[in-house]
Structure 1
Amino acid sequence: MEKAAAIDTCLGVLNGRDCIYLNQVKRDALDNLTFTGDINGHLISRHKDEKEWFPYTLIFQRVLAYFACELDTYENMAMSGHLDDSSFDLIEDSSWLKSLPVREDFDKDIYQHYRLFTYDAVYDIIAVSYKLEVDV
């Protein structure tokens, strides 16, 4: 059964609707998806309240697929009450990943399903890995 597991970042677990603010999303020719913005220093579990905002760059590498949706619509569509939980999750036993009809030369086993809740939107991303760079 599908389960969302909070990702423990260098700032700890990121929690709540007001935690991740997004300035830009960019996809490059190498199938990387890059998010830049600021993380609310009051809604993290490590380095809490050291700074009001932490600038970040989050890069998903070798992206196979992604889906974006306005946050409130996503909440109504998918589940309710998530806004008090983690804002960055690994989706274990992902039904979307299992059902994705990838090319024969792709190894589906190397991909992970990530879910990112930003202030305005939710992103479901199928990628090989991610790298989070934070100005701590």
Structure 2
Amino acid sequence: MTKADATPVLELTGIGKEFGAIRALHGVDMQVMPGEVVGLMGDNGAGKSTLVKIIAGNFRPSHGEIRFAGNAVHFSRPVDARAVGIEVVYQDLALSDNLTAAANVFLGRELKRKFGPIALLDHKAMAARAL
């Protein structure tokens, strides 16, 4: 299968977001292909954070469609986005610099291995999932 034949992992079509009379986003189209890394840049107030929050399930779009692995999805909250594998690590001010990147991704919802009544952090599983 060539990259041209691949289904986008994430596809946004016509995404718009209004907060009352304020239009934060209008007509955003974007595709993320398997194995692709995407950077999002723009001036302050351009809508970058709003777009990321829509992808992460913090905000619902006012317009448009989100598809994940070819299927239409509707995220009402971040746990819905997490269920399909979407994670957001926010700016470094929100990170714990004494932890690894994987530990920051799972902060507050760490994966654990149980040994009877004892639960230990599963660092290997968190690193693999974060990757």
User: Shared fold (TM-score greater than 0.5)?
Assistant: no
Larger Rg: 2
Identify which of structures 1 and 2 has the higher relative contact order when contacts are C-alpha pairs closer than 8 Å and 6+ apart. 1
TM-score bracket for this pair, using the shorter chain length: under 0.3
**Structure holding more helix per residue:** 2
TM-score calculated relative to the size of structure 1: 0.22
